[in-house]
């Protein structure tokens, strides 16, 4: 039944449709109303948190009016939509972003002042939405911002984890994980208790043959878990388009618990069923670039894919179009291999439920999906054991076998003389147990495959997907270099810099077309502009110094060079190279004369990032950084010349304080290992320079900003294999200054050295897989060049301004336009206002 208001009553309805606030008074009225009624607080009982809550609810009301209209408009025009499937959306805080995007920050600032609050304190009350690990999840969040800002009809689909990425505490120098229960108060979501999808697991498949000999497979038995939709409005910048992010939460099919069992005294097992169902969406797996193959993770993946596909198919069916139109109406992007099950799931829906024949269904499926690869690290490539698959998703395993059979037959016909290729490209790895290779399934089931930076997209074509390039031809593979949203990462994080730029460019159009930034290069020699630019950087450093003081108790000098490496802790990202470099610097300072010390630029080395809870080596690196910091920060003889800080619990809202405050940031992965990196872009956009290897997007950043404006060092990706080989089979000689660093560690200078022996041995005895020693000399040399360059502040500012001016390419808007054109074939839809 259509649930819409009949024509004659619509006038009344329209008359009472709420109007969005637009003046400070109207904002205040809405906020106070929410505080007094929705929250049942009063002016005698209203703290900053209640005021945040009221403000957020007032803005939510605003967003939802635009959201309603956007959804109606999209349904009405019935254009092709894109669905972005991602297990991670690292959104951070929503209020500040919502205020900026709807252009009401000034209104809210004024209103809140009149109510007795400072807007910064209110914004600061919000709990980060931390449903992601790192770059992959943050990229999805930037994409949502760009999709809405560019008016694309788009939905995100993800999981509503009850616990996001853990909170990190540093206790005695060690990482301790604390659960992140973030849903106590989340004004940004709407529970859709009417949108529930039954998801099946386990069970059996039987085949039936009808009179014409057609076989049908029926999957029955097993258990049902329900998926409940929670919708999060995603406002675009300066547009009425407000898209939807739909997150699924799991709950037991019977609703709460099994009353039959409950009444017959089986309390515990009735509750257990309910808990088991809710466990599916309970927690985000805290690994970045690592696949652990856990059954619950596979359950999460299927639960989310099946619910999303059901929803997408239901929406398509409402249009009453023919199935062959599906790929003209629907584009689905797979954010990494995590949602690859959507491929066999759509095939299953089409053949088992909608009665299409295999080939017709497969034609639709393989035109619908696009797959983005985000890593070449072997430990991150997802594989699922066949027995586990058989148990959990028996029908999907059959479908995957059929997809594989058809594919291998095709390969055999095309390459009859290369039989050994079949084993290499088969979706099923013939190991024991056999494994399903998800990346291969994703390639086979998609019409386009893309990497996330040029080097990375080249690498996937020559390494993991080499055979597939021969099979499908090179056109199936493409590159879309990552980007970041300038709204959050410039305007919101660095309002003064944004304002300075706007003052020269005559407005904020650059926030919609970031290439306009190139115009500030005309001011690179303008004295006032330079002065203001430097003052802004300094003020941002003062803000970070305050944060450091508050959270670590260490006083740092904002005039020192701030050297920052914040990202997930991972051996391939090489925080160990950085901290060994810090020790090298410390030893050098200790050996310097007073004269020499005078010439040195004081430095603050700032680290931040979480280690996966089971990643012991990464945790050792955190421990070493903290131990080194403890010794150096207490060394009065060194004083301000060197400080070492580990910032606890790095997350999106902290990144917004850190990115604008760096002079140098480090992007120093072993060449060929970091697919793109996106924090490199954030730092450059905020007028920080970078030190980096020729890896990921660093290469394109160099091309855009010019090699004089970046500090590159280290071996190239093409040499990595040979170097690794020579470590294992040739003669290996440890870099002498690194040897001195290890001697210092081994002398217990930073506490009990046995704590760090695995870290050191990995380099001296076990092949130095990440080439720390090979790159150490050139890293230290480059750090000296940085010291020298920083002494010439005039030149430094020139480099920094030039860098900002040339970052236009790295907007996620450019990136989304490329996806829209090359992969999704979708058009923007002008919002109805
Ligand atoms: C990642 C890569 O490691 C990053 O280099 C990349 O920038 C990001 C987004 O494309 O994806 N892959 C991954 O598994 N985690 C990431 O952050």
Q: Which neighbouring-strand residues pair with 661? A: none
Å from CA of 532 to ligand 1 middle? 35
* pLDDT interval class at 259 (50, 70, 90): low
Q: Is the CB of 682 under 6 A from ligand 1?
A: no
The CATH code of the domain that includes 337 is 3.40.50.2000
426: in domain = yes
Cα 824 to Cα 318, 329, 807, 827: the distances in Å are 21, 10, 25, 9
Å from CA of 136 to ligand 1 middle? 5
The catalytic residue among 573, 603, 643, 799 is 573
Any idea which residue has 């669905």 for tokens?
83
206: in domain = no
pLDDT at 255 over 60: no
For 216, the token pair is: 């049908």
Q: Are strands 689-692 and 603-608 parallel, antiparallel or unpaired?
A: unpaired
Instruction: Supply the pLDDT for residue 258.
Output: 63
Mean pLDDT value across residues 131-139:
98
Closest CA to 772 of 798, 751, 742: 742
Radius of gyration of the chain (CA): 28
Q: Which pLDDT tens digit goes with each residue over 403-425?
A: 999 999 999 999 999 999 999 99
Which ligand 1 atom minimizes the distance to the CA of 674?
5
Name residues whose C-beta falls within 8 Å of residue 651's C-beta, 6 or more positions apart in sequence.
92, 128, 130, 165
What does the angle CA 74 – CA 75 – CA 77 come to, to the nearest 5 degrees? 65
Task: Say yes or no: 462 and 610 in one domain.
Answer: no
Q: Which pLDDT tens digit goes with each residue over 91-108?
A: 999 999 999 999 999 999
Let me know: does 62 contact 141? Beta carbons within 8 Å: no
Q: Which pLDDT tens digit goes with each residue over 724-762?
A: 999 999 877 899 999 999 999 999 999 999 999 999 999
Q: Are strands 711-712 and 642-647 parallel, antiparallel or unpaired?
A: unpaired
Which ligand 1 atom minimizes the distance to the CA of 696?
5
**Torsional sign, CA 762, 764, 768, 774:** positive
* ipTM metric: 0.99
Instruction: Supply the pLDDT for residue 1.
Output: 45
Question: In a mutational test of the pocket of ligand 1, which residue from 86, 135, 382 has the highest number of ligand atoms less than 8 Å from its CB?
Answer: 135
Å from CA of 372 to ligand 1 middle? 11
Task: Say yes or no: 337 and 470 in one domain.
Answer: yes
The pair phi, psi for residue 374, each rounded to 5°, is -120, 5
Å from CA of 676 to ligand 1 middle? 6
Å from CA of 295 to ligand 1 middle? 23
Closest CA to 338 of 312, 307, 299, 368: 299
Q: Is 799 a catalytic residue?
A: no
Q: Is the CB of 674 under 6 A from ligand 1?
A: yes
Q: Is 781 a catalytic residue?
A: no
Task: Say yes or no: 382 and 465 in one domain.
Answer: yes
For 707, the token pair is: 């090699």
Any idea which residue has 């115009």 for tokens?
519
Question: In a mutational test of the pocket of ligand 1, which residue from 84, 136, 336 has the highest number of ligand atoms less than 8 Å from its CB?
Answer: 136
The catalytic residue among 678, 693, 782, 802 is 678
- Mean pLDDT is lowest, of 143-157, 265-279, 598-612, 655-669, for 265-279
For the chain, give the percent of residues with pLDDT over 90: 94
Å from CA of 133 to ligand 1 middle? 10
What is the C-alpha to C-alpha distance for residues 664 and 711, in angstroms, rounded to an integer?
Answer: 9
For 164, the token pair is: 């996001």
What is the C-alpha to C-alpha distance for residues 367 and 329, in angstroms, rounded to an integer?
Answer: 11
Q: Is the CB of 762 under 6 A from ligand 1?
A: no
What is the C-alpha to C-alpha distance for residues 679 and 90, in angstroms, rounded to an integer?
Answer: 14
Task: Say yes or no: 520 and 646 in one domain.
Answer: yes
Task: Say yes or no: 322 and 363 in one domain.
Answer: yes
Let me know: does 606 contact 565? Beta carbons within 8 Å: yes
Q: Is 69 helix (H, G, I), strand (E, B) or coil?
A: helix
pLDDT at 267 over 80: no
For 664, the token pair is: 């140098």
Å from CA of 135 to ligand 1 middle? 5
For the chain, give the percent of residues with pLDDT over 70: 99
For ligand 1, atom 12, the nearest C-alpha belongs to 374
Task: Say yes or no: 362 and 377 in one domain.
Answer: yes
The catalytic residue among 568, 584, 603, 610 is 568
Q: Is 180 helix (H, G, I), strand (E, B) or coil?
A: coil
Q: Which pLDDT tens digit goes with each residue over 45-97?
A: 999 999 999 999 999 999 999 999 999 999 999 999 999 999 999 999 999 99
Q: Which pLDDT tens digit goes with each residue over 460-502?
A: 999 999 999 999 999 999 999 999 999 999 999 999 999 999 9
Mean pLDDT value across residues 141-147:
99
pLDDT averaged over the chain? 97
pLDDT at 254 over 80: no
What is the C-alpha to C-alpha distance for residues 479 and 822, in angstroms, rounded to an integer?
Answer: 10
Q: Is 660 helix (H, G, I), strand (E, B) or coil?
A: helix
Task: Say yes or no: 622 and 754 in one domain.
Answer: yes
Task: Say yes or no: 455 and 504 in one domain.
Answer: no
Task: Say yes or no: 471 and 556 in one domain.
Answer: no
Instruction: Supply the pLDDT for residue 271.
Output: 84
Mean pLDDT value across residues 384-402:
98
Name residues whose C-beta falls within 8 Å of residue 515's C-beta, 6 or more positions apart in sequence.
808, 809, 811, 814
For 704, the token pair is: 């855009």
Task: Say yes or no: 459 and 570 in one domain.
Answer: no
The separation between CA 119 and the C-alpha centre of its own chain, rounded to angstroms, equals: 27
Q: Is 15 a catalytic residue?
A: no
Q: How buried is 423 (Cβ within 10 angstroms: 0-12 exposed, 13-18 middle, 19+ buried)?
A: exposed
The pair phi, psi for residue 449, each rounded to 5°, is -125, 130
Å from CA of 677 to ligand 1 middle? 6
The catalytic residue among 62, 167, 682, 727 is 682
Q: Is the CB of 482 under 6 A from ligand 1?
A: yes
786: in domain = yes
136: in domain = yes
759: in domain = yes
Helix H or strand E encompassing 384: strand 383-385
What's the maximum distance between 2 C-alpha atoms anywhere in the chain? 96
Let me know: does 456 contact 115? Beta carbons within 8 Å: no
101: in domain = no
Enumerate helices (H) and strands (E) in the chain, giving the number of each. 34, 24
Let me know: does 240 contact 70? Beta carbons within 8 Å: yes
pLDDT at 256 over 70: no
DSSP 220-287: E-SEEEEEEEEEEEEEPTTSS-EEEEEEEEEEETTSSS-HHHHHTT-HHHHHHHHHHHHHTTTB----
pLDDT at 667 over 70: yes
111: in domain = no
Let me know: does 54 contact 35? Beta carbons within 8 Å: yes
The domain total for the chain is 2
pLDDT at 269 over 90: no
Let me know: does 665 contact 654? Beta carbons within 8 Å: no
Task: Say yes or no: 472 and 566 in one domain.
Answer: no
**Omega before 340 within 30 of 0, i.e. cis:** no
CA dihedral 537, 542, 548, 549 (to 10 degrees): 170
Let me know: does 89 contact 156? Beta carbons within 8 Å: yes
Domain interval for residue 355: 81-93+128-186+291-481+820-824
For 37, the token pair is: 């009624």
Which ligand 1 atom minimizes the distance to the CA of 139?
9
Instruction: Supply the pLDDT for residue 214.
Output: 85
Instruction: Supply the pLDDT for residue 257.
Output: 56
Task: Say yes or no: 400 and 506 in one domain.
Answer: no
467: in domain = yes
* pLDDT interval class at 218 (50, 70, 90): very high
Instruction: Supply the pLDDT for residue 272.
Output: 87
What is the C-alpha to C-alpha distance for residues 164 and 200, in angstroms, rounded to an integer?
Answer: 25
Q: Is the CB of 374 under 6 A from ligand 1?
A: yes
Q: Is the CB of 375 under 6 A from ligand 1?
A: yes
């Amino acid at each position: 039944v259509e649930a819409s208001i009949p024509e004659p009553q619509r006038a009344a309805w329209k008359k009472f449709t709420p109007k969005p606030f637009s003046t400070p008074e109207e904002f205040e009225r809405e906020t106070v109303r929410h505080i007094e009624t929705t929250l049942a607080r009063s002016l005698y009982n209203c703290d900053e948190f209640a005021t945040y809550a009221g403000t957020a609810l007032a803005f939510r009301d605003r967003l939802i009016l635009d959201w309603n209209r956007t959804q109606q408009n999209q349904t009405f025009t019935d254009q092709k939509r894109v669905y972005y499937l991602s297990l991670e959306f690292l959104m951070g805080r929503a209020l500040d972003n919502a205020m900026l995007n709807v252009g009401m920050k000034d209104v809210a600032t004024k209103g809140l002042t009149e109510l007795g609050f400072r807007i910064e304190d209110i914004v600061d009350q919000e709990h980060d939405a931390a449903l992601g690990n790192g770059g992959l999840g943050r990229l999805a969040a930037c994409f949502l911002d760009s999709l809405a800002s560019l008016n694309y009809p788009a939905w995100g689909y993800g999981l509503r984890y009850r616990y996001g990425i853990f909170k990190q505490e540093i206790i005695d120098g060690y990482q301790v994980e604390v659960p992140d229960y973030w849903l106590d108060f989340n004004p940004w979501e709407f529970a859709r208790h009417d949108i529930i999808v039954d998801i099946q697991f386990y069970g059996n498949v039987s085949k039936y043959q009808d009179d014409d000999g057609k076989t049908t497979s029926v999957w029955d038995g097993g258990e049902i878990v329900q998926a409940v939709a929670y919708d999060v409005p995603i406002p675009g910048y300066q547009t009425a388009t407000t898209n939807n992010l739909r997150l699924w939460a799991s709950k037991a099919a019977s609703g709460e618990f099994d009353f039959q069992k409950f009444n017959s005294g089986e309390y515990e097992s009735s509750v257990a069923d309910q808990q088991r169902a809710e466990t599916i969406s309970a927690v985000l797996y805290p690994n970045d670039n690592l696949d652990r193959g856990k059954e619950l993770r596979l359950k999460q993946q299927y639960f989310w894919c099946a619910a999303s596909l059901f929803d997408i198919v239901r929406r398509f069916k409402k249009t009453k179009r023919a199935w062959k139109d599906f790929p003209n109406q629907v584009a689905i992007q797979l954010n990494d291999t995590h949602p690859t099950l959507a491929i066999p799931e759509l095939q299953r829906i089409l053949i088992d439920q909608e009665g299409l024949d295999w080939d017709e269904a497969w034609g639709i499926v393989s035109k619908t999906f696009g797959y983005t690869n985000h890593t070449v690290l072997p430990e991150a490539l997802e594989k699922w054991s066949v027995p586990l698959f058989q148990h959990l998703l028996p029908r999907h395993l059959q479908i995957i076998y059929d997809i594989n059979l058809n594919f291998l037959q095709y390969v055999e016909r095309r390459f009859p003389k290369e039989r050994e290729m079949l084993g290499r490209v088969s979706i099923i790895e013939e190991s024991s147990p056999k494994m399903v290779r998800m990346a291969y399934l994703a390639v086979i089931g998609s019409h386009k495959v893309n990497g996330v930076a040029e080097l990375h997209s080249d690498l996937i074509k020559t390494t993991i997907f080499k055979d597939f390039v021969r099979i499908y031809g090179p056109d199936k593979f493409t590159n879309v270099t990552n980007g970041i949203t300038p709204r959050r990462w410039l305007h919101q994080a660095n309002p003064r810099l944004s304002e300075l730029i706007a003052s020269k460019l005559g407005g904020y159009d650059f926030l919609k077309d970031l290439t306009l930034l190139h115009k500030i290069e005309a001011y690179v020699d303008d004295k006032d502009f330079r002065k203001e630019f430097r003052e802004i950087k300094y003020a941002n450093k003062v803000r970070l110094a305050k944060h450091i003081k508050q959270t670590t108790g260490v006083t740092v000098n904002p005039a020192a060079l701030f050297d920052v490496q914040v990202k997930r802790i991972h051996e391939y990202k090489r925080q160990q190279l950085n901290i060994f470099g810090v020790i090298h610097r410390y030893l050098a300072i200790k050996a310097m004369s007073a004269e020499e010390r005078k010439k040195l630029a004081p430095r603050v080395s700032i680290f931040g990032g979480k280690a996966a809870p089971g990643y012991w080596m990464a945790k050792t690196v955190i421990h070493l950084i903290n131990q080194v910091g403890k010794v150096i920060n207490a060394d009065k003889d060194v004083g301000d010349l060197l400080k070492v800080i580990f910032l606890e619990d790095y997350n999106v809202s902290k990144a917004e304080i850190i990115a604008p405050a760096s002079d140098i940031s480090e992007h120093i992965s072993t060449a060929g290992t970091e697919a793109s990196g996106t924090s490199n872009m954030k730092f450059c956009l905020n007028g920080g320079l970078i030190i980096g290897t020729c890896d990921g997007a660093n290469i394109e950043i160099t091309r855009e900003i010019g090699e004089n404006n970046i500090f590159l060092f280290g071996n190239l990706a093409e040499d990595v294999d040979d170097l690794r080989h020579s470590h294992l089979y040739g003669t290996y000689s440890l870099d002498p200054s690194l040897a001195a660093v290890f001697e210092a560690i081994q002398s217990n200078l930073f506490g009990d050295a046995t704590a760090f022996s695995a870290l050191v041995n990995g380099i001296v005895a076990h092949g130095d897989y990440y080439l720390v020693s090979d790159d150490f000399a050139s890293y230290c040399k480059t750090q000296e060049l940085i010291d020298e360059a920083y002494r010439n502040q005039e030149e430094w500012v020139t480099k920094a301004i030039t860098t900002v001016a040339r970052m236009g390419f790295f907007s996620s808007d450019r990136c989304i336009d490329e996806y829209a054109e090359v992969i999704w074939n979708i058009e923007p839809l002008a919002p109805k206002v």
